[in-house]
Amino acid sequence: MNNQKLVQHTDRINTLLARYGVKFGIYKNNTFKEQLFPFDSIPRIIEDTEFKMLEKGLKQRVLAINFFLKDIYSDKRIVKDGVVPEDFIYASSGYMAECEDVMPLKGIYSHISGIDLVKGKDNEWYILEDNLRVPSGASYPMIARDLCRKSSPETFHNVKLMDNRNYADLLRKTMDYVNAGGHTVILTPGRYNAAYFEHSYLAEKTGAHLVTGSELFVENDVLYYISSNGSKEKVGAVYRRISDEYLDPMNFNPESLIGIPHIYDVFRKGNVALINAPGNGVADDKGIYYFVPKMIRYYLSEEPILKNAPTYLPFYEEDMQYVLENFDKLVLKDVAEAGGYGVVFGNTMTKQQKEDFIVLLKNEPRRFIAQEIIDFQDLEILDEGEIVPRKADLRAFVLMADEPYVWASGLTRFSRNPDSFIVNSSQGGGFKDTWVLFQ
């Protein structure tokens, strides 16, 4: 495959991305800063057989997680059977008592799952985390692919590359599958949200209306949207890009100004689909991550196809012992934090920091997980004209309608800092397109 042409277009594509508004905003020291999301034109390539394995493993994982969510908010068989200790459910910030006995339409909780993986130097893929609330990122490889094809059409001539521009169709199908009758809308917190580009892009590509909370209202157990000509239209599905706590000031955080009063009560009565369902945070908690392979065995009676990074729960006496003895070779994560925050590497701490941390760990063992540091493969990136190796991960998207579907692409994020393992975009990383080849 010849990338040369494409690589030459890197600057041009980045200029176009900037013009299209491919940016994300971050709050730093209380000020909103928008920054470009740098694109690297050397794609990550996943071969056909490898993708088939990933596809199988990801479908299995998302199916099991969905069973778990359904179980947790109803009978809790997995707790009664002693597979998951109840502490990990109720003490999780993602567990929402308000979701007890509220079954989403067609029993689907995680319609859009963003599963983060890395490929180790041992050539194995490892799951890093599951994102089941409002995972973002699909729009970036979508638009990048589009611009690449326009900038360098010859690159794509003789490649057996799966087209990734079908994401919009998949998403539309996913939203339509659970639609309770009425319009489909994408609910954005607004212009100053980190992922506003994505919200508007997906709305345009799927033909859904892009709305803010003030354009929606509830009347007699039905959700309505006020159209541009002022008419009142019934809404059947909301792909909401705002978090659970801000969704409905009558049921969740009463201070929320971006939510819609009573939208959760409409959902409760089955008159609207919320995508993803509220309450999913209980399944993508870093503590629950440990139990996902157990869920796969429990609900599906199958062996997990994809591996977790080896993880220890200091909550268990045996694991605590291991963590204390192997502190320097582990990475420790605060289960309540996200976005690359609350992550510390044992070997980078000073003696004092280590002692303080161990005190904290012993006081709140439930709050942390420890993982072996996976030495993951580098990918090549172009850094000021030179090709250099950098750490990268992959966010795969699994969409659930009548069955799970794995998008044949994904967001590859890389760290621009040669010494860093943290690839999160809020920490200044860039992205690549992900090419899945077919035979």
Partner 1 sequence: MAFLNYEYKMKIKYSKPVDKCYFTIKSIPADDFRQRNISYEISINPYVQYSEGVDSFGNIQIIGQEPESHSEFEFVIKGLVETYQVNVQGGVNTGKIGMYKYPYGKCISGEKIMGFVDELSAEMKGLTDEKEKCRFIMNQLYERIRYEKGSTEIETTAEEAFANGKGVCQDYAHIYISLLRAFSIPARYVCGLIVGEGQSHAWVEAVCDGSFIAFDPTHNREITDEYIKLGVGRDATDCAINRGVMWGGGLQTQEIECIVEKYY
Question: Which residues make up the interface to partner 1 (CB under 8 A)?
Answer: 74-76, 79-80, 86, 89-91, 95, 97-102, 217-221, 249-251, 254, 261-262, 265, 268-269
CB 362 within 8 A of CB 104: no
What is the closest distance, in whole angstroms, from the C-beta atom of residue 251 to partner 1 in the complex? Answer: 8
Going by C-beta distance under 8 Å and a sequence separation of 6 or more, which residues neighbour residue 194? 24, 25, 26, 136, 426
What is the closest distance, in whole angstroms, from the C-beta atom of residue 101 to partner 1 in the complex? Answer: 6
Q: How many CB atoms lie within 10 A of CB 65?
A: 26
Residue 331: strand, helix, or coil: strand
What is the closest distance, in whole angstroms, from the C-beta atom of residue 77 to partner 1 in the complex? Answer: 8
Nearer residue to partner 1 within complex by CB, 18 or 250 = 250
Nearer residue to partner 1 within complex by CB, 56 or 80 = 80
Residues in the chain: 439
What is the closest distance, in whole angstroms, from the C-beta atom of residue 291 to partner 1 in the complex? Answer: 16
> How many Å apart are CA 282 and CA 69, to the nearest integer?
8
Nearer residue to partner 1 within complex by CB, 214 or 353 = 214
What is the closest distance, in whole angstroms, from the C-beta atom of residue 358 to partner 1 in the complex? Answer: 22
Nearer residue to partner 1 within complex by CB, 238 or 306 = 238
Nearer residue to partner 1 within complex by CB, 44 or 262 = 262
Nearer residue to partner 1 within complex by CB, 96 or 295 = 96
Kind and range of the H or E element at 355?
A: helix 351-363
Using CA atoms, how far residue 137 sits from 19, 37, 112, 173, in Å, is: 18, 11, 11, 19
Q: How many CB atoms lie within 10 A of CB 410?
A: 30
Instruction: Spell out where 292-428 has E strands.
Output: 307-308, 311-312, 330-334, 343-345, 368-372, 378-383, 386-400, 404-406, 411-414
Q: What are phi and psi of 231, to 5 degrees?
A: -80, 160
Nearer residue to partner 1 within complex by CB, 7 or 79 = 79
What is the closest distance, in whole angstroms, from the C-beta atom of residue 97 to partner 1 in the complex? Answer: 4
What is the closest distance, in whole angstroms, from the C-beta atom of residue 228 to partner 1 in the complex? Answer: 21
